[in-house]
Every structure is written in C-alpha cells, then in structure tokens.
Amino acid sequence: MPLDRDLPPHDSPDTARRRDDRRLAFRRALWRCRVLVVALCCGLAATVVVHALRPAPLPTVPVVVTARDVPAGHRLTGADLRVARVPAALAPTVSLRAERSARGRVTGVALPAGTVVVPSVVAAGELTSVAPAGRVVVAVPLDASARGIVSPGVRVDLLAPGVTGAAYVARDALVLAGSGHAGAGGSAASGADADDSGTPAVVALRPEEAEALAGLPDGSRLTAALVP
C-alpha cells in the first residue's frame, strides 16, 4: 500500500507563485499605508487619553434671569423671565430660583437681558404703592448693628464699609419694612442665618442710589444711620 496517499497534495509551481505574489502585494500595501496606520493608532490613543483626563462637569443650580431688557420700575411678568442653570460657585447667594418667586415684583434698576434676578434689585409689589414719588423699592442687606434702629417709617442714610472708611450709598432713604417683614423676599432671616446674610430691610431709594447698591459686591452689608 502506498505510504503517501494521506499526505496533502503538493501545490503546482504556478499556484505557489500566485500565493507568494499575493502575500508580497499585501506586505507592500501595508508598508505603503504605514503612515496612515500609525496616525490612526495615535489618534485613537489621544482620544482615549483626553476622555480619561476630561474633568467632571461642574455642579449647576437654577437661577432666574431676565429674558429681555427690563427698565427700572417695571413689574415683572413671565415673558420677562426665564430660568437658566449656572455653576453653583458663580450663582449669587440670594438669587431667586423659580420664576414664580420673581413674577409681580418691581425692578429697582434697569436690568439687561440675561441678568440674574436677586432680591436687592426687585421688590414685592405691595410695598411700591407706599413709596414716595420718584423712588424705587429695594431690599437692602444690613449689618447686625442696624437691627434695633431700622423700622418702618424711619429715614436712614446707608453706608457701605470700605478699605478707607464707609462711603454713602444712599441718603434720606425711607424704610418701608424692617427685618421682620417678609413681603420683599420671603420669610425674614433670623438667628445665625441673619448674621450670615445681613439683616434685610426694604427701603425706597432714588434710582441712581439703587444702581450704586446693585454694583456692590455680592454679600455686602450696609450700615444704617438714622436721619433726625
């Protein structure tokens, strides 16, 4: 019995040559595309590294902002407002978080579109009717020393502490509501919370004084001096 009947048949010379030609052509094509292959590998590696090193998104909070330019003395409606999300670290401490909290309030100063709405530049509508003509109603954060002297009906000068001494922000401002009134921005602060955020009072200011107040750094506390 022949011993070679189970061995695989030998390729013919033509078949072997064609197989070698295909292998050589593949190697030549791979060599010619080596730059493209390396570039693709580098791009994939860079994408993986960038994705791994990308910082986590910053936490955000909702704040109410003006949807369009709003003049001073304007009663806010839903068309004037929208809710935007901003980084929590950049949001004002006392900003309003829902449109319903701002609707019906009256602006103390002109607000450009996109301005964050804070209680210091808007006031509750029920107090505007008792403000003197030509004045705007503004919620003012006061320091703890003013808690015992500020009450509705008194007139005060408002001063902002500075590096070189206190500077007048407003003179002869009429107090419409003291620290115990909740109408200008929700419930009144008390205890430790009042010491942290300043004692709020609602006063009637001249428009230019309200603008100066709005320009103070966030968290500023004012000192009040009674006008005889």
Q: Answer whether residue 125 is part of any domain.
A: no
Tell me the β-bridge partners of 81.
66
112 and 166 fall within a common domain: no
Residue 109: which domain range?
57-118
Q: Answer whether residue 61 is part of any domain.
A: yes
Residue 225 three-state SS: strand
Q: Answer whether residue 169 is part of any domain.
A: yes
Q: What CATH number is attached to the domain comprising 109?
A: 3.90.1210.10
92 and 171 fall within a common domain: no
CA 182 – CA 172 distance, rounded (Å): 23
Of 175, 70, 170, which is closest to residue 130 (Cα–Cα)? Answer: 175
113 and 157 fall within a common domain: no
- pLDDT for 167 equals 82
Judge contact between 142 and 169, C-beta under 8 A: no
Number of H helices and E strands in the chain, helices first, is 6, 9
pTM of the predicted model over 0.85: no
Q: Which helix (H) or strand (E) holds 84?
A: strand 81-87
110 and 170 fall within a common domain: no
Give the number of domains in the chain.
2
- pLDDT for 196 equals 45
Q: Answer whether residue 16 is part of any domain.
A: no
Residue-wise burial string across 115-130, b where 16 or more C-beta atoms lie within 10 A, e elsewhere: bbbbbbbbbbeebbee
Q: Which helix (H) or strand (E) holds 171?
A: strand 167-177
Per-residue pLDDT of the chain (228 residues; tens, 9 = 90+): 455 555 455 556 667 677 776 777 777 776 777 677 677 777 777 777 766 666 777 889 899 999 999 887 777 888 999 999 988 888 887 778 888 888 888 776 778 999 888 876 776 666 666 677 788 888 888 888 776 778 878 888 988 876 466 788 889 888 887 654 443 333 333 333 434 444 578 888 888 888 888 888 877 788 888 888
